Chains A and B, each alone.
Chain A
Amino acid sequence: MSQELLSAMRQSIMDGAPATSAELARQALGDGIMPLEAINSGYVPGMHAVGEQFAKGQMFLPDMLASAEAMRAAMAVLDPELKKLGSERPVAGTVVLGTTQGDIHEIGKSLVGTLLSAHGFRVYDLGVDVSGEKFAAKALEFGADIVGVSALLTTTMRNQKTVIEALEKSGLRAKVKVMVGGAPVTRRWAEEIGADGYAKDAMSAVELARNLMEQKRHLAPLGELR
């Protein structure tokens, strides 16, 4: 596979250019390139570069969302081909995501979902005003590795704890990691309610999700026993 094409794929993600990224994906398939190779060597490095530039303050939220959209457009072309070949892109983890009960704020949670998807997570976005019971039921239904609970208000932040309680009640707590976020949420609050992690922004949520998956892999036998 030509370095030139890989480099163009990476650049299309960095430019946040969905039409270009999709076209390059079609071109790669036409050239007989394996979809997984295009993903791992072309598009994924683009998302990594975007994350790095965002962390340095050289890229901004709208740029990052456009990059995620470019990633989605490329995957829309490549995914069906992967399926035809009987394979699929390795999933970084399964995340059930939502805004806590009583809270209708969407944007932060959606941003996290978009970035998680772009970084290879399978995301089930439950929307806003989601009860603890629904989080637990959907975590079970989708086999979630991680449950992400967002809250924008100090009043609704308390309901993050009810999600953890619901997961405990349904016997899922040992199997899923819980990450919390939102404007009023702090690391101390996350510890206080027994969450596994706190992310202060969307990009650090991706990093946190990766770390939680790593922990989960290492602690799986213990988790099963718990």
Chain B
Amino acid sequence: MRPKLELLDRTLMERILREAFQLLESPGVRLAPYVFELLATAGARLENGVAHIPEKLARRALASAPHEFFLYDRGGRPAVHYGADDVHFDPGSSCLNILDSETQQARPAQSADLIRLVQVAEMLPQYAAQSTAVVCNDVPQEIGDWYRLLLVLWYSEKPVVTGAFSGSSLKTMIDLLVEESGSERALGQRPRAIFDVCPSPPLNWSEFASHNIVDLARAGIPAEIVSMPLAGGTAPVTLAGAVVQHAAECLSGITIHQLAQPGAPIVWGGAPAIFDMRAGTTPMGAIETAMLDLACCQVGKYLNLPTHGYLVASDAKQLDAQAGMESGISALLGALAGINMISGAGMLDFLACHSVEKLVIDAEAIASAQRLVRGIEPRTESLALSMFAQAGLQGDFLRLKETRMLFRSEQHFPSSVIERGRPALEGYPADMIGRARARVEELISGYQRPLIQSAHENAVLQFAEHEARRAGLDTLPGLTGVAAVK
């Protein structure tokens, strides 16, 4: 039996959806002019930039949205399954700061930091996907979005969770992915990247968010709605009320998306949080934030849609017990809820800071969560009797053939980050940060850039050099010494 955690009973679920559909009609959803015609033609009433979406229209969109899809790796192999109760993790996205490995103090992130994060995530099987984890402060802001994606594509073969902060950068990012895939058709058939698109709470699709969700649908590139109600701030204070708002924002996004391209892959996702009434902050490590993620995901599952959540992040500023506790708890909860993609690992300080050491520590929590959801299975014909028949009351189970055959599948073996008293840890630092630091260096020293040579790698470089020159850069930070064959 696979353990599963649900927070909403059927009655509450139906009330949530009923109210969400009502919100779509009244007060409706504020939209950008880019999507007015799409909505109006389909039957939504438009008034002062607000679309009043009938339930019937939203339900039609739900009917055309796919229940599952795959992201592919650089070699074109299916690598992440969005659907059912499959659970995957990726590092948090778009962070401004990095916790410096040496000083353990936050500082603005550089492209070298993103590369280290990508290399470490590449080496850890706990991360099924990469993310464009940090904003590179050594790259001009106007090209930052596609440049982050370039670095991730270059140093990884895993799928990528990414996003664009403007309509124009989305176009460049899609062009970059087309270069990497070889053609628009190839990209549509085997997408490697998924793009987060974020409505602004409450119930508002900004100019660039409206552009992005439509353009992604038309390009056939998977989109992940990241609805961010802040319970008590930009959403009702009650968790149930915030879940209603999340559902309405996702439903409106799916309606726009499916009207633009029926059947295009879309994810019911989010980064909901509570609004802390003492500090005015948005605590990502709060238990209520995790509860919101779980409940929102449950609604998506009820509608048979792929799901996403934002967990495994902490609000601590350092790698301390709070960071471990908050990240570990939410990793377990997210896995138990069967959320298809859980973003947020590695992040600290209300999503303002990334840490490569935290990424390796979080990988241990994720591995424990992955073990937990595998559950307890009867692996032998008799559960214990035949082993007792051999070991008797002397109880030397260690020597049984069953022990040797099954211990690897029964037990998860953590890395050197976790103290288990084994001899291999002799010589490792006694503290967790020290062990995490050593683990990071181990992983990076074992890292090799994926050998699968994309036939289109040179085209990617030429594209990058061209775009970088247009932005006034004469080198490619993080790709020093790499030049396209002209």
Q: Is A84 part of the contact surface with B, judged by Cβ < 8 Å?
A: no
Q: Given A60-B407, A62-B403, A62-B407: A106 and B394 within 8 A (CB)? A: yes
Map CB proximity to A onto B413-437 as digits: 1 under 8 Å, 0 otherwise.
1001000011111000000000000
Q: Given A55-B424, A201-B423, A203-B423: A16 and B404 within 8 A (CB)? A: yes
- The minimal Cβ–Cβ distance linking B406 to chain A, given in whole angstroms, is 9
| Chain A 39-71 interface residues, beta-carbon cutoff 8 Å to B | 54-57, 60-63, 65-66, 69
- The minimal Cβ–Cβ distance linking B200 to chain A, given in whole angstroms, is 49
Q: Is B441 part of the contact surface with A, judged by Cβ < 8 Å?
A: no
Given B396, B403, B422, B423, which contacts A110 in the complex, CB threshold below 8 Å? B396
| Structural contact, A63 and B404, CB atoms closer than 8 A | yes
Question: Which chain B residues border A204 with CB–CB below 8 Å?
Answer: 423
* Distance between Cα atoms of A61 and B407 in the complex (Å): 10
Q: Is A107 part of the contact surface with B, judged by Cβ < 8 Å?
A: yes
Question: Which chain B residues border A107 with CB–CB below 8 Å?
Answer: 395-396, 398
Q: DSSP majority for the A interface?
A: helix
Q: Given A16-B404, A60-B407: A65 and B423 within 8 A (CB)? A: no
Q: Is A213 part of the contact surface with B, judged by Cβ < 8 Å?
A: no
Question: Which chain A residues border B423 with CB–CB below 8 Å?
Answer: 54-55, 57, 200-201, 203-204
Q: Given A62-B404, A63-B404: A56 and B424 within 8 A (CB)? A: yes
Question: Which chain B residues border A200 with CB–CB below 8 Å?
Answer: 421, 423
- The minimal Cβ–Cβ distance linking A33 to chain B, given in whole angstroms, is 30
Q: Is A92 part of the contact surface with B, judged by Cβ < 8 Å?
A: no
Question: Which chain A residues border B422 with CB–CB below 8 Å?
Answer: 57, 201
Q: Given A16-B404, A66-B404: A61 and B424 within 8 A (CB)? A: no
Which partner residue on chain A sits nearest B405 by CB separation?
A: A62
Q: Is A111 part of the contact surface with B, judged by Cβ < 8 Å?
A: yes
| Structural contact, A62 and B394, CB atoms closer than 8 A | no
Which partner residue on chain A sits nearest B394 by CB separation?
A: A106
Which partner residue on chain A sits nearest B421 by CB separation?
A: A200
- The minimal Cβ–Cβ distance linking A115 to chain B, given in whole angstroms, is 12
Question: Which chain A residues border B395 with CB–CB below 8 Å?
Answer: 106-107
Number of interface residues of B (CB under 8 A): 16
- The minimal Cβ–Cβ distance linking A96 to chain B, given in whole angstroms, is 20
Which partner residue on chain A sits nearest B399 by CB separation?
A: A65
Which partner residue on chain A sits nearest B402 by CB separation?
A: A62
Q: Given A55-B423, A55-B424, A57-B422: A111 and B398 within 8 A (CB)? A: yes
* Distance between Cα atoms of A16 and B394 in the complex (Å): 23
Question: Which chain B residues border A16 with CB–CB below 8 Å?
Answer: 404
Question: Which chain A residues border B421 with CB–CB below 8 Å?
Answer: 200
* Distance between Cα atoms of A106 and B398 in the complex (Å): 11
Number of interface residues of A (CB under 8 A): 20
Question: Which chain A residues border B403 with CB–CB below 8 Å?
Answer: 62
| Chain B 382-400 interface residues, beta-carbon cutoff 8 Å to A | 394-396, 398-399
* Distance between Cα atoms of A55 and B424 in the complex (Å): 5
* Distance between Cα atoms of A201 and B403 in the complex (Å): 19
| Chain A 179-221 interface residues, beta-carbon cutoff 8 Å to B | 200-201, 203-204
- The minimal Cβ–Cβ distance linking A109 to chain B, given in whole angstroms, is 11
* Distance between Cα atoms of A63 and B407 in the complex (Å): 10
| Structural contact, A57 and B396, CB atoms closer than 8 A | no
Question: Which chain B residues border A62 with CB–CB below 8 Å?
Answer: 398-399, 403-404, 407
- The minimal Cβ–Cβ distance linking B180 to chain A, given in whole angstroms, is 36
- The minimal Cβ–Cβ distance linking A53 to chain B, given in whole angstroms, is 10
* Distance between Cα atoms of A81 and B395 in the complex (Å): 34
- Most chain A beta carbons < 10 A, residue from B396, B398, B413, B421: B398
Question: Which chain B residues border A110 with CB–CB below 8 Å?
Answer: 396
| Chain B 416-471 interface residues, beta-carbon cutoff 8 Å to A | 416, 421-425
Question: Which chain A residues border B396 with CB–CB below 8 Å?
Answer: 106-107, 110
* Distance between Cα atoms of A200 and B423 in the complex (Å): 9
Map CB proximity to A onto B207-222 as digits: 1 under 8 Å, 0 otherwise.
0000000000000000
Which partner residue on chain B sits nearest A61 by CB separation?
A: B398
Map CB proximity to B onto A116-144 as digits: 1 under 8 Å, 0 otherwise.
00000000000000000000000000000
Which partner residue on chain B sits nearest A201 by CB separation?
A: B423
- The minimal Cβ–Cβ distance linking B401 to chain A, given in whole angstroms, is 8
| Chain B 239-261 interface residues, beta-carbon cutoff 8 Å to A | none
* Distance between Cα atoms of A119 and B391 in the complex (Å): 25
Map CB proximity to A onto B337-379 as digits: 1 under 8 Å, 0 otherwise.
0000000000000000000000000000000000000000000
* Distance between Cα atoms of A61 and B422 in the complex (Å): 11
- The minimal Cβ–Cβ distance linking B300 to chain A, given in whole angstroms, is 40
* Distance between Cα atoms of A56 and B421 in the complex (Å): 13
Question: Which chain B residues border A106 with CB–CB below 8 Å?
Answer: 394-396
- The minimal Cβ–Cβ distance linking A108 to chain B, given in whole angstroms, is 10
* Distance between Cα atoms of A60 and B425 in the complex (Å): 14
* Distance between Cα atoms of A57 and B396 in the complex (Å): 22
* Distance between Cα atoms of A60 and B413 in the complex (Å): 10
| Structural contact, B394 and A65, CB atoms closer than 8 A | no
Which partner residue on chain B sits nearest A204 by CB separation?
A: B423
- The minimal Cβ–Cβ distance linking B292 to chain A, given in whole angstroms, is 39
| Chain A 89-122 interface residues, beta-carbon cutoff 8 Å to B | 106-107, 110-111
Which partner residue on chain B sits nearest A105 by CB separation?
A: B395
- The minimal Cβ–Cβ distance linking A173 to chain B, given in whole angstroms, is 30
Given B399, B407, B408, B424, which contacts A57 in the complex, CB threshold below 8 Å? B424
| Chain B 123-182 interface residues, beta-carbon cutoff 8 Å to A | none
Q: List 7 A-B contacts (CB under 8 A).
A: A16-B404, A60-B407, A66-B404, A106-B394, A106-B395, A107-B396, A110-B396
Lowest 4 CB-CB distances: which A-B pairs, in order? A57-B424, A62-B404, A62-B403, A55-B423
Please give 15 more A-B residue pairs, beta carbons under 8 A apart, in addition to A56-B424, A106-B395, A200-B421. A16-B404, A55-B423, A57-B416, A57-B424, A60-B408, A62-B398, A62-B399, A63-B404, A65-B398, A65-B399, A65-B404, A107-B396, A201-B422, A201-B423, A204-B423
